[in-house]
Structure 1
Amino acid sequence: MKPLNGIRIVSVEQFGAAPYGSMFLADLGAEVIKIENAAIGGDPARRTGPHLLGDEDSQYFQTWNANKRSLAIDLRTDEGKATLRKLVESSDALVNNLRGDLPVKMGLDYAGLRDVNPAIVCLHISAYGRDNERASWPGYDYLMQAESGLMDLTGEPDGPPSRLGAPSIIDHMTGITGALGLLAAILGARASGKGCDVDTCLFDVALHQLGYAAIWNLNEGHDVTRQPRSSHFSLTPVQTFPTADGWIFIMCMTDKFWQALLDGVEARELGDDPRFADAASRHANRQALNERLDAIFRGGTSAHWLAKLQGRLPIGPVLSVAEALRNPLLTRNGMISHVPHPARADFRMLANPLKIDGQRLTQKSCSALGQDNAAILQSLSQQEEALK
């Protein structure tokens, strides 16, 4: 089942944030028409290496654009503007991730399009928002991690600040945040007949990821700092531990799991030590506890401890990307999807993490640059004829 069948979304997008969010909507069944600038060869992500798929496509591009159609036009020309406005007549939403000052100038906001379609929802994803002194500033994911404080919280205490390891995590979170706001506004527009503008930006979303670290600071002046070995800010033991051949991560978030750990490693004497009697004591004496647990875990391999403790408490291996992608669980649960591409029949992607009625959402590669021009333009001509 594709629950968004019948919804049409036009997206003036490039690179990661808006494309990631609109890809989710496309996977869920929405018709997403990706507007690409014909004057510059489309989304620059099409030519981002190192792994290309022909002259006008890349694995980097396909990461964010599965299930979309491609319409290559130049929005700076009268013809391009007219085509976009015709599309808006029969669409539910228009998405853009342009610089914050550009949507109004290009007529891509609700005020500029409501005469064409009063129910249109316009989603704006920008670097810093459209209503402040930074509206015209360009910006990307890593800059937001830096200024939001996320980099300062990442890495070992005695090392330099680091970006989060996952590529483009703020882009992804911003895309999903925007998609959620967009769907809510579409529901509202279908009920009222009136559309609106929906805004989110990379900076706001990055800041929002601080979560309780921000709340503690705002209310208590509590400065959260980098923790050794990826430890939790207030609970122990919640961190990495070295084994005889690698690393594992253990998360004793409750006393129940602390007790399960003591039983599993056969170290009940640690529970009798007053330094580790409760959560606050364990956190206050984390270094001493680490020394005891490190000695235990170094006595066995990662596989040994996983076999002994998995299912009894939250524990997992620390894997490389290559190891993570070869985890047999991914095959069993369908998280690797085969998505044939004209340039590569055996092309694979990560499946959408959503399931509907227990089924993964189907995927197909994004159309080639401008591949859908003829079909879309013909449908617009027929739409225009029907209105005469």
Structure 2
Amino acid sequence: MKPLEGLRILSLEQFAAGPYGSMFLADMGAEVIKIENKAIGGDPSRHIGPYHLGEADSLFFQGWNTNKRSVVLDMKAAEDRKVFESLVAGADAVVNNLRGDQPEKLSIDYKSLKHLNPKLVCLHISAYGRNNSREAWPGYDFLMQAESGLMDLTGDPSGAPTRFGASVIDYMTGITGMVGLLGKLRSAERTGIGGDVDVSLFDVALHQLGYAGTWYLNEGFVSGRVPRGAHLSVTPVQTFQAADGWIYVMCMTERFWVSLLEVLSSQALRADERFQSQSLRLANRDVLTVALDNEFKKQPVVHWLNALRGVLPIAPVLNLKQALDNPFVEEVGMISQVPHPRKDDLKLLANPLKFDGERLSQQPCSPLGADQSISQAPSRQAA
């Protein structure tokens, strides 16, 4: 039995933040029902190419929507609204990731739905939040990386501000929202009273500033971009060039630095007064980078992995193909084979959670509107 079996979640979701977050609930056994607008073809990500799986389905879509069901409704049509409300009466939560002004307009907030189900929890994932000057603004992950300062912190100092290689703010916001949802569900279980939970892309992006934000707020220190993806205050923690590629080395403690010197067997590095303490190494980071590059260039990546793994934290810098072909990925079971009617060998990234040592099973999301019978079934009792 999966941990969230018995929960029913209605989700008016699209693209990434909402679907990514609710996928964790679905994979953990919750019945997540996507409420999709048939007039626009459902969740727009069903139609994002280049790899399609028939009509209104794609690889892009399936990657964030495993184990979900699909019901099509027009939320502005009176008859469909009645159907939605009948589903709400037996649901535990309603999730949306629309603009911040939409939940009230569509009457999908707690105030509008509590008469149907007092224990209902309503999660609102939006770009800028609700009840503020930007609530009606559309917004996406990359905009948040830009305005939060994260883009300015990322990349080489001599280049342009750079976004992350993945939509990490979408993913973090989705997960953060689900943590809030589960917390409020626990409260509703105890008190019998649900409520609203809000999370925005903007707030989550700003929160990811972490210690850099804390430094500025308390000391006025403005962090800048550091070459080689280096740590702001500890060194050597950065990329280095080997004979045939790149490695990332993390000497986060003095012990790891001493261990690196032992493996390199470099008397010059060991004796250099500029590298005798963490503060000195930080002050002379550029000189140290050149010196360590010269050492690491003497051997290929695999040599350094064999020499340093288990001695200090080290990883190869891989491209996407190398990352997914990595034997360790197969060893830990991070690729899931999911049976799909249009693609027997559909492979997806497995859910990173394990329960009692086992991965969570995954099935493809239902075709658009394939679970319409749910909307005609007698109302269930919320968990």
> Which residues of 2 match residues 1-388 of structure 1 at below 5 A?
1-166=1-166, 168-374=167-373, 376-379=374-377, 382-383=378-379
Kindly indicate whether the alpha-carbon contact (under 8 Å) linking 2:87 and 2:379 is maintained by their aligned counterparts in 1. Answer: no
Aligned partner letter, 1:82: K
Structure 1, residues 264-307: CA drift from partner, whole Å, max 9, x if none?
Answer: 11125423322111111110011111111111000000001101
Whether the aligned pair in 1 keeps the contact of 2:89 and 2:379 (CA below 8 Å) is no
**What amino acid sits opposite 1:36 in the alignment?**
E
Paired residues of 2:128 and 2:202 also in contact (CA < 8 A): yes
What is the identity, as a one-letter code, of the residue corresponding to 2:130?
R
TM-score w.r.t. length of structure 2: 0.98
Distance 2:139 2:256 in 1: 43
Q: Secondary structure at the match of 2:33?
A: strand
Q: Distance in 2 between matches of 1:41 and 1:276?
A: 61
Shift of 1:79: 1.4
- SS of equivalent residue, structure 1 residue 69: strand
The residue type paired with residue 59 of structure 2 is Q
Unpaired runs of 5+ residues, structure 1, are none
Contact 2:13/2:34 (CA < 8 Å) preserved in 1?
Answer: yes
Q: Distance in 2 between matches of 1:377 and 1:141?
A: 33
- Look up the equivalent residue of 2:184 and give its one-letter code: A
Task: Give, in angstroms, the shift of residue 325 of structure 1.
Answer: 0.2
1:383 is paired with a residue whose SS is coil
User: C-alpha distance in 2, partners of 1:97/1:124?
Assistant: 6
Matched position secondary structure for 1:233: coil
Kindly provide the amino acid, as one letter, of the partner of residue 331 in structure 2.
R
In 2, Cα distance between the equivalents of 1:169 and 1:34?
Answer: 22
Partners of 2:18 and 2:245 lie apart in 1 by 38
CA deviations 1:236-286 (Å, max 9, x no partner) are: 000000010000000000001111111111125423322111111110011
Give the secondary-structure state (helix, strand or coil) at the position aligned to 1:304: helix
Q: In the aligned structure 1, how far is the partner of 2:81 from the partner of 2:207?
A: 35
The letter for the 1-side match of 2:279 is A
Structure-2 separation of matches of 1:95 and 1:5: 17
Amino acid at match of 1:76: K
Give 1:40 shift: 1.2
Q: Secondary structure at the match of 2:379?
A: helix
> Any unmatched runs of 5+ in structure 2?
none
**Rounded Cα–Cα distance in structure 1 between residues aligned with 2:55 and 2:267:** 63
Q: TM-score, normalised by structure 1?
A: 0.97
Aligned pair count reads 381
Superposed structure 1 runs of 4+ greater than 4 Å apart: none
> 1:82, 1:155 → 2: CA distance?
51
Partners of 1:315 and 1:81 in 2: how far apart? 55
Deviations 1:199-237 (A, max 9, x none): 000011011111000000111111100110100001100
Q: RMSD across aligned C-alpha pairs, in angstroms?
A: 1.1
- SS of the residue aligned with 2:180? helix
Q: Distance in 2 between matches of 1:35 and 1:377?
A: 10
